[in-house]
A and B are shown apart, each in its own frame.
Chain A
């Protein structure tokens, strides 16, 4: 199974500042035949289901604000929120869909400093 490890577990950032969350996979999730990274990011607010933010490691889902961006390839990935807003307080998960069993990172709890 591919193990996904996020860092940090929790993060406190001031409003308007940059937030960065890292995700590392135990093996590459880059599929060589199409050069795509099978890596997604989700946002989960309290009492709500997860929401897809980013797929293919860097493609924003429709309707997601452009302050959210994803980067990385192979085994190392980053979710960046360029200017933190109050509504961004949530738990963020990375997930690989390279193959089953699909696996998630443990989550990063993002708070306002």
Chain B
């Protein structure tokens, strides 16, 4: 069964850090590009960032609101995608989804259930 499971969310104070993980199974993890997408409570979807696969250089891109504070990485040997979040702000409060980019297409085809991050004092 194709599955992605996020973990690592929780309550953190402004200025704090958190690392999210996304463990994948049921497909060849090393192939697709991967992304994080977030959804603030009651709001729409917001792309956070993307990491390419190793054959495409493994490079990353980020949305402006998180650039310089968030870092995406992947461990293909463990089938895990990471999101390191530093200098967290209240506006980072959201449900964070990991997702794969459909190979040869680029749309987001496989999604996890999400992990909630709350930034509050």
Q: Are B50 and A102 in contact (CB under 8 A)?
A: yes
Interface size of B by CB at 8 A reads 22
Q: What residues on B are CB-neighbors of A104 within 8 Å?
A: 44-47
Number of A-B contacts (CB under 8 A): 56
How far does the alpha carbon of A95 sit from the alpha carbon of B105 in the complex, in Å? 13
Residue in chain A with minimal CB distance to B35: A102
Q: What residues on A are CB-neighbors of B45 within 8 Å?
A: 42, 44, 50, 93, 95, 104, 107
Q: What residues on B are CB-neighbors of A51 within 8 Å?
A: 111
How far does the alpha carbon of A93 sit from the alpha carbon of B108 in the complex, in Å? 12
> At the interface, yes or no: A56 with Cβ under 8 Å from chain B?
yes
Residue in chain A with minimal CB distance to B50: A100
Q: Are A49 and B107 in contact (CB under 8 A)?
A: no
How far does the alpha carbon of A104 sit from the alpha carbon of B7 in the complex, in Å? 24
> Interface of chain B, helix or strand or loop or mixed?
strand
The smallest C-beta distance from A91 to any residue of chain B, in angstroms, reads 8
How far does the alpha carbon of A107 sit from the alpha carbon of B44 in the complex, in Å? 6
How far does the alpha carbon of A56 sit from the alpha carbon of B113 in the complex, in Å? 25
> At the interface, yes or no: B112 with Cβ under 8 Å from chain A?
yes
How far does the alpha carbon of A97 sit from the alpha carbon of B101 in the complex, in Å? 10
The smallest C-beta distance from A8 to any residue of chain B, in angstroms, reads 15
Q: Which of B44, B47, B101 is the one whose CB lies under 8 Å from A106?
A: B44
> At the interface, yes or no: A103 with Cβ under 8 Å from chain B?
yes
Residues of A54-101 contacting chain B, CB below 8 A:
55-56, 61, 93, 95, 97, 100-101
How far does the alpha carbon of A102 sit from the alpha carbon of B109 in the complex, in Å? 14
Q: Are A52 and B102 in contact (CB under 8 A)?
A: yes
Q: 9 closest pairs, A vs B, by CB?
A: A40-B107, A49-B111, A97-B106, A55-B107, A102-B47, A104-B45, A100-B61, A107-B44, A101-B63
List residues of chain B with CB under 8 Å of any chain A CB: 35, 37, 44-47, 50, 61, 63-64, 97, 101-102, 105-109, 111-114
Q: List 29 interface pairs A-B (beta carbons < 8 Å), by A numbering.
A: A40-B108, A42-B108, A48-B113, A49-B97, A49-B112, A49-B113, A50-B37, A50-B97, A50-B111, A52-B107, A55-B106, A55-B107, A93-B45, A95-B45, A95-B108, A97-B101, A97-B105, A100-B47, A100-B50, A100-B61, A101-B47, A101-B64, A102-B35, A102-B47, A104-B45, A104-B46, A105-B44, A106-B44, A107-B45
